[in-house]
């Protein structure tokens, strides 16, 4: 397996688990790799440059930043309900898992659905400390929430580059829903969504292709917990889809968190734009048919009525080559569209009828 590049610490940018034996990782410690520098010049240990014999070191180094998210009053259908023999509506204060993302213990990330039905939230650290948490921002569409706590000595996890992931890479999912012990499950990246034959720039829903898919077990207890690469970096946030064995496990990519953490901290929400097209990748055969000089871009197959795309003059059969001088393909077009400043014109470079042309598009707020 290749080594993942180490991203700059989030602090520099200023930007749950059930203790079942089947989820625990119990093996002898593996040797570590020599130190490596991240892109800000800091040293970061690459724990396992190849498939590890054990995840013991990785879990030990990260566990202090994994926290339990609790309600001040008991709620129904929390992580306690997943124990055998427990009714689904059992009352419990446990909600899920979160993790510290900035040095000094200022910010905690978790799933939005974990805290959606409560107003008073507490965070439980691994040493048993219980701290009140303030909900700074929520992004229900991406299922992310940002909390603030006062814990100046709490360790923090570093965000990795989820766009660099490849199918087959090892990951570890950590959880701590009950504040007693960090649990772990391991697996590989099953799918990244980047090669999916469609695009989500047409719909206001982010949909399944927004997420990574892993074969590591994710249940209500570790929902909101960190998903780590073998370099010990957060490459995603666990999302529980259910507790039945065999269900698909989804992960919010860390780069999607990186894009929204500042608006969540500053404004408490995320305002996204939308484009209003359905797009597909441009294959080599298709590029030859269209007379494109090289393979690239995103082929528009459908345009939504009343959308910013149709107002700009985009139409089915166009190939979007660039977005404000930034090269476009079917992978990054949805992200560029969603993160575009609303109301600020964008220059689109297209390929139409075997020639290149430019259009001006004004991004609009994504419909609710």
Are 81 and 55 contacting, i.e. CB atoms less than 8 angstroms apart?
Answer: no
∠ Cα 146 40 332 (to 5°): 60
Catalytic residue selected from 112, 143, 161, 318: 143
Report the chain's terminal Cα–Cα distance, integer Å: 41
Biggest distance spanned by C-alpha atoms of the chain: 66
Distance (Å, rounded) from C-alpha 90 to C-alpha 92?
6
* 210 touches 231 (CB < 8 A): no
Burial class (CB in 10 A: 0-12, 13-18, 19+), 189: buried
Calpha distance 18→1 (Å, rounded) = 30
223 tagged catalytic = yes
H or E element, residue 57: helix 56-62
- Distance (Å, whole) CA 199 – CA 361: 19
**CA–CA separation, 146 vs 169, rounded Å?**
28
Q: Is 143 a catalytic residue?
A: yes
| Residues 147/123, Cβ–Cβ less than 8 Å | yes
Q: Which of 223, 229, 249, 304 is catalytic?
A: 223
Q: Is 39 exposed, middle or buried (0-12, 13-18, 19+ CB in 10 A)?
A: exposed
Catalytic member of 23, 38, 92, 113: 113
> Which residues does the annotation mark as catalytic?
113, 143, 223
């Amino acid at each position: 397996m290749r080594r993942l590049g180490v991203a700059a610490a989030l602090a520099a940018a200023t930007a749950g688990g059930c203790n079942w034996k089947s989820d625990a990782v119990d093996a002898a410690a593996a040797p570590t790799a020599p130190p490596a520098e991240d892109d800000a010049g800091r040293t970061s240990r690459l724990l396992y440059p190849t498939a590890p014999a054990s995840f013991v070191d990785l879990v030990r180094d990260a566990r202090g930043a994994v926290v339990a998210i609790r309600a001040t009053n008991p709620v129904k259908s929390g992580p306690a309900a997943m124990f055998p023999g427990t009714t689904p509506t059992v009352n419990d204060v446990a909600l899920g898992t979160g993790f510290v993302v900035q040095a000094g213990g200022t910010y905690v990330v978790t799933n939005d659905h974990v805290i959606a039905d409560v107003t008073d939230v507490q965070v439980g650290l691994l040493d048993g400390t219980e701290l009140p948490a303030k909900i700074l921002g929520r992004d229900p569409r991406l299922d992310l929430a940002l909390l603030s706590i006062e814990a100046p000595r709490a360790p923090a996890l570093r965000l990795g580059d989820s766009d660099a992931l490849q199918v087959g890479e090892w990951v570890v999912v950590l959880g701590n829903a009950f504040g007693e012990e960090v649990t772990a499950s391991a697996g590989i990246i099953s799918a990244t969504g980047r090669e999916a034959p469609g695009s989500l720039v047409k719909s206001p829903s982010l949909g399944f292709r927004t997420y990574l898919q892993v074969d590591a077990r994710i249940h209500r207890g570790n929902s909101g917990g960190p998903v780590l690469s073998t370099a010990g970096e957060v490459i995603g946030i666990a999302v529980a889809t259910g507790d039945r064995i065999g269900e698909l496990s989804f992960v919010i990519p860390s780069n999607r968190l990186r894009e929204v953490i500042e608006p969540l901290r500053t404004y408490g929400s995320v305002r996204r734009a939308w484009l209003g097209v359905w797009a597909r990748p441009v294959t080599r055969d298709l590029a030859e048919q269209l007379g494109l000089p090289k393979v690239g871009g995103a082929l528009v197959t459908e345009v939504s009525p009343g959308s910013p795309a149709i107002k700009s003059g985009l139409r089915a059969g166009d190939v979007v080559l660039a977005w404000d001088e930034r090269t476009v393909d079917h992978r990054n077009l949805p992200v560029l569209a969603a993160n575009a400043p609303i109301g600020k014109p964008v220059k689109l470079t297209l390929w139409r009828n075997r020639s290149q042309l430019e259009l001006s598009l004004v991004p609009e707020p994504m419909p609710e």
